[in-house]
Structure 1
Amino acid sequence: MMATFFGEVLSVYSRAVEEEEEEELDENDEDEEIRRELEEKREVHLHWSSEATTSGNKLPCSDFVLAVGQNAACFLSAYVLSSDTWEAVGRASAWNERSQAAAGEESACVFYRRKDDPSVLICSVTSYLAEDQLFQWTEKVFDRLQLRQLSVTVLSDGALADYKTADYLCGSSAPFLRSLRTGAFGERPVCPALEQPNILTGLPAAVLNHCQVHRIPAVSYQCYSDVIAPDSVTMETYKPALTRLSRSIQLDPSPSTDILRKSVRSSDLQSNLYI
């Protein structure tokens, strides 16, 4: 607004103000487009084989075992998946700042199914999932599973340095297991519960939280170890965790040295301090 010498009040058009508003709108549109492109790039993708999808949208599943981390994945590879009773039926891929080339991530999250019992499903995860991808992964995977009579077991790696305890001698007993379970899990875990203030993080926490919300029986076993690389002693620590699944998952009590070496060698170890 502007006042004249005669007392009139006139409205004044300011092109500068309009140009600023247009620039702000353009910037907002560009920011929104960048966010949308980033969200699409970071989307979690599930890929199932034709054999796994013939029975419809939902996969029959009574027991779902999820292994997260190098030692947990190598344990399943050497002690369970080395037999010819298992077949790969799917994989998950996700890009993020810590992941390697997209093509290299395809084998870092694989789903296996027993040939003679399709209701037993195993997933081995060695790739990194960012915080904004954890909920996505969990929702998409469980959305494909039949939840009726489903039971979930999670095996995960934990660094001994992250384990908080008043007993300074605790490290001498490493590696060791600690458990967390949902309210619907009625059985007794095979190891002590995870003591406060220790918490689960990452994908194991996301899966256990999902199961708690949806009242799915689930138990998580975290193995605390003082080694970074896959290690045969650490792998053996997971054995008791699958005791209750002995009818559906048979463990090889003593895998050959060749199988152990192959499992360790095939694992994509990421021990770089800068990753």
Structure 2
Amino acid sequence: MATFFGEVLSVYSRAVEEGDDDLDENEEDEQIRRELEEKREVRLHWNPEVSETLNSGNKLQCSDFIVAVGLNASRVLSVYVLSCENWDAVGHASVWNERSRAPSGQTSDESACVLYRQKDNPSVLICQVACHISEDQLFQWTEKVFDCLLQKELNITVLSDSSVAEYKTADSLCSSSAPFLRSLHSRDYRGQPVCRSLEQPNIVTGLPAAVMNHCEVHRIGAVVYQCYSDVTGLDSVTIETYRPALSRLGKSVLLDPSPSTDLLCKFARPNNIQSNLYI
């Protein structure tokens, strides 16, 4: 290359060095991506008895699988079902994402998906999902949980929380209308839902939708009961709204007809009224 004064200078290409820098950056990005994917992987942790059954190649005999998605739905089951002393915690699903970062080793109802099995009838399973599951984890969760269950003659019931603000209707909703219950079932569901079907154009989203999609594909009878509420905490009105769905569960599980006042106060705490701008 000639300079302004005509002097010839040797020139070397920096393309190789620049390419190496890009390659290093790509490898580093790829490693970060792999670590993040590994961290976001849904993992099932079973007690020794269940692990032994699954490790031997057998699946869990299950006639009824009840999934409670959301704090209110989970707490309703805690009050009316799990309060009876005939349930054992048999495992949990650990889920990490931006909105659900449970401390290492913590398996409480509000940080993990806890699975319970009935002592008198081991074929009945309950899963409380009080934590958030991201969109990229929904398929993982559904596939891994259902892969452990013998799906022949399996019945699925999903209790789900939803904000009344997400409910679409041509009629105006007054404050006294909420909370209310709507249902959506798969084509292989043989029962009769206890409430009205979810009207179009409303849809079911999140984990209930992933479970329903799995059941539709694999021809499993399933029903989703979605409770639309205008409060973020469990109260007596919400409990009464879920009661028809709970009465249907009474055919396969033992319900506590009159839970203690202390138990109700533990889960149904009064909420301070505040503006939605700051929720």
Instruction: Give me the TM-score of the superposition, normalised by structure 2.
Output: 0.86
Structure 1 pair 259/51, CA: closer, same or farther in 2 (3 Å)?
A: same
**Residue 273 of structure 1, CA deviation:** 7.3
> Match of 2:53, SS?
coil
> Match of 2:120, SS?
coil
Q: Which residue of 2 aligns with 1:229?
A: 233
**Residue 170 of structure 1, CA deviation:** 5.3
Asked if 1 retains the 8 angstrom alpha-carbon contact of 2:161 and 2:228, the reply is yes
Q: Does 1:242 align with 2:246?
A: yes
> Match of 1:239, SS?
helix
> Match of 1:254, SS?
coil
Q: Which residue of 2 aligns with 1:174?
A: 178
Asked if 2 retains the 8 angstrom alpha-carbon contact of 1:93 and 1:102, the reply is no
AA at the equivalent of 1:65: I
**Residue 103 of structure 1, CA deviation:** 3.1
Alpha-carbon displacement from aligned partner over 1:28-84 (angstroms, at most 9, x marks no partner):
111111100000111111111112234334111110000011110111000011011
Alpha-carbon displacement from aligned partner over 1:116-136 (angstroms, at most 9, x marks no partner):
110000011111111111111
Q: Does 1:220 align with 2:224?
A: yes
Alpha-carbon distance in structure 1 between the residues aligned to 2:150 and 2:277: 40
**Residue 236 of structure 1, CA deviation:** 2.4
Structure 1 pair 42/85, CA: closer, same or farther in 2 (3 Å)?
A: same
> Match of 2:67, SS?
strand
**Residue 23 of structure 1, CA deviation:** 1.9
**Residue 89 of structure 1, CA deviation:** 0.6
> How does 1:1-275 map onto structure 2 within 5 Å?
15-56=13-54, 57-103=58-104, 106-108=107-109, 109-169=113-173, 171-264=175-268
Aligned-pair Cα RMSD in Å: 2.3
Alpha-carbon distance in structure 2 between the residues aligned to 1:92 and 1:134: 12
Any stretches of 5+ residues in structure 2 without a counterpart? 2-9, 270-274
**Residue 145 of structure 1, CA deviation:** 0.8
**After the TM superposition, which of the residue ranges 161-170 and 149-158 deviates more from structure 2?**
161-170
Aligned-residue sequence identity (percent) comes to 65
Asked if 1 retains the 8 angstrom alpha-carbon contact of 2:84 and 2:255, the reply is no
> Match of 1:35, SS?
helix
AA at the equivalent of 2:144: K
**After the TM superposition, which of the residue ranges 83-92 and 54-63 deviates more from structure 2?**
54-63
AA at the equivalent of 1:204: P
Alpha-carbon distance in structure 2 between the residues aligned to 1:164 and 1:105: 38
> Match of 2:50, SS?
coil
**Residue 14 of structure 1, CA deviation:** 5.2
> Match of 1:98, SS?
coil
AA at the equivalent of 1:68: V
Alpha-carbon distance in structure 1 between the residues aligned to 2:106 and 2:214: 24
> Match of 1:89, SS?
strand
**Residue 143 of structure 1, CA deviation:** 0.8
Asked if 2 retains the 8 angstrom alpha-carbon contact of 1:93 and 1:105, the reply is no
Structure 1 pair 273/173, CA: closer, same or farther in 2 (3 Å)?
A: closer
Instruction: Give me the TM-score of the superposition, normalised by structure 1.
Output: 0.87
Alpha-carbon displacement from aligned partner over 1:173-216 (angstroms, at most 9, x marks no partner):
22111011111112221111111111111111111111111111
- Structure 1 segments (4+ residues) deviating >4 Å: 271-275
Alpha-carbon distance in structure 1 between the residues aligned to 2:137 and 2:277: 23
